[in-house]
């Protein structure tokens, strides 16, 4: 990985690696940027989701940005289909939008809000509302989309969002992040507030898997692109520790041989700032922490080092995405 993009909660950072060190350059300062998506076909094209500010788009790696509409929406999630380039945005209150023209226009996929479970969707810190926490278009099928509602369930569409299947059997309801395997069709992964799960039938049904972990409040999930059996989650002892307590008591875990293994190899034990973001690319694994630290492993999590980050200060990392 030689370039990453990060959402800091208040800006977007472009992180470029050279000689083992990283340089951070911030843009969209003061906008409440909390989520992002990189166009898989163009590493210079990035979408940012803002609190009270809708969606912004850059075509030059963050040097300049243009508004993509959605008004004053609080955007909590973004995704881009690797199959057809469709852009998806999820908001609070829960709503899902799709753009087929690079954010110029949007249409709401309002069938999501007709699901029978909708009356019980509720986000505990703000129990009068909920939000679309994660959107995962399949990298193999343009019509297949997974959506996680915090807190409400894991929903699935097989027709591009025209209709939806309600919370899938075996999945966890407090969805925090979702991932597909890029090479193996049908493999999907979930991290949630009550544990983790995986699917081998394209998200139709799920298998909880928590053996080997002593922390079950999982947040970020990443998958080894070469091996569908090897995947990673970050986990804390609970939401209070993860987000509010000042010490997340967190670990990063690797799943292989049917169970979870806590990774150490240079990482703080436990990690005091929640690892909000994990990205994997081959043997490389990067973790972005709630306090802005960036940690990297070049051997699938066996050993780690804290990255030197020059340039603009990273005060927090809420999300990470690879360029390409």
Half-sphere exposure for 38 (CA within 13 Å, toward CB): 23
Tens-place pLDDT, residues 119-158 = 999 999 999 999 999 999 999 999 999 999 999 999 999 9
Pairwise CA distance, residues 63 & 27, whole Å: 7
Pairwise CA distance, residues 141 & 160, whole Å: 9
Pairwise CA distance, residues 244 & 257, whole Å: 34
Residue 112 structure tokens: 């999501």
Contact between residue 56 and residue 28 where contact means Cβ atoms under 8 Å apart: yes
pTM: 0.96
Read off the DSSP letter of residue 114: G
Q: Indicate the length of the chain as a whole number.
A: 324
Tens-place pLDDT, residues 296-313 = 999 999 999 999 999 999
Residue pointed to by tokens 């875990």: 253
Pairwise CA distance, residues 222 & 179, whole Å: 7
Determine the topology of domain 3-322 in CATH.
Methylamine Dehydrogenase; Chain H (2.130.10)
Please give the sequence-ordered ranges of beta strands (E in DSSP) within 39-129, or none if there are none.
46-50, 54-58, 66-67, 74-80, 87-92, 95-99, 107-108
By CB neighbour count within 10 A (0-12 exposed, 13-18 middle, 19+ buried), where does 60 fall?
A: exposed
Residue 161 parent element (H or E): none
Residue from 221, 274, 229 nearest 247 by CA: 274
Q: What one-character-per-residue DSSP string does 230-265 give?
A: -EEEEEES-HIIIIISS---BEEEEEETTEEEEE-T
pLDDT tens digits for the chain (324 residues)?
Answer: 789 999 999 999 999 998 889 999 999 999 999 999 999 999 999 999 999 999 999 999 999 999 998 887 899 999 999 999 999 999 999 999 999 999 999 999 999 999 999 999 999 999 999 999 999 999 999 999 999 999 999 999 999 999 999 999 999 999 999 999 999 999 999 999 999 999 999 999 999 999 899 999 999 999 999 999 999 999 999 999 999 978 999 999 999 988 899 998 889 989 999 999 999 998 899 999 999 999 999 999 999 999 999 999 999 999 999 986
Pairwise CA distance, residues 290 & 240, whole Å: 14
Contact between residue 144 and residue 128 where contact means Cβ atoms under 8 Å apart: no
**118: phi then psi, degrees, rounded to nearest 5:** -55, -40
């Amino acid at each position: 990985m030689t370039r990453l993009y990060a959402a800091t909660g208040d800006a977007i950072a472009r992180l470029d690696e050279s000689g083992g060190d990283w340089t951070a350059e911030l843009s969209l300062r003061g906008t409440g940027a909390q989520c992002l998506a990189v166009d898989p076909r163009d590493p210079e094209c990035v979408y940012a989701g803002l609190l009270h500010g809708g969606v912004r788009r850059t075509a030059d790696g963050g040097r300049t940005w243009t508004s993509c509409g959605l008004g004053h929406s609080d955007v909590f999630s973004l995704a881009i289909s690797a199959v057809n380039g469709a852009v998806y945005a999820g908001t609070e209150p829960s709503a899902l939008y799709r753009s087929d023209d690079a954010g110029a226009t949007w249409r709401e996929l309002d069938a999501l809000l007709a699901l029978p479970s909708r009356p019980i969707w509720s986000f505990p810190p703000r129990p009068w509302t909920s939000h679309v926490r994660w959107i995962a278009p399949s990298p193999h099928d343009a019509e297949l989309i997974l959506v996680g509602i915090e807190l409400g369930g894991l929903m699935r569409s097989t027709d591009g969002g025209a209709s939806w299947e309600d919370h899938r059997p075996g999945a966890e309801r407090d969805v925090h992040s979702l991932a597909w395997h890029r090479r193996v069709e049908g493999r999907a992964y979930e991290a949630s507030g009550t544990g983790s799960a995986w699917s081998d039938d394209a998200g139709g049904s799920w298998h909880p898997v928590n053996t080997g972990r002593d922390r079950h409040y999982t947040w970020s999930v990443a998958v080894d692109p070469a091996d569908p059996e090897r995947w990673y989650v970050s986990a804390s002892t609970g939401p209070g520790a993860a987000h509010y307590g000042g010490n997340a008591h967190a670990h990063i875990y690797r799943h292989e041989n049917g169970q979870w293994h806590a990774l150490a190899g240079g990482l703080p034990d436990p990690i005091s700032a929640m690892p909000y973001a994990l990205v994997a690319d081959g043997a490389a694994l990067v973790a972005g922490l709630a306090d802005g630290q960036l940690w990297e492993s070049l051997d699938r999590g066996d050993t780690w080092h804290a990255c030197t980050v020059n340039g603009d200060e990273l005060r927090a990392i809420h999300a990470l995405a690879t360029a390409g």
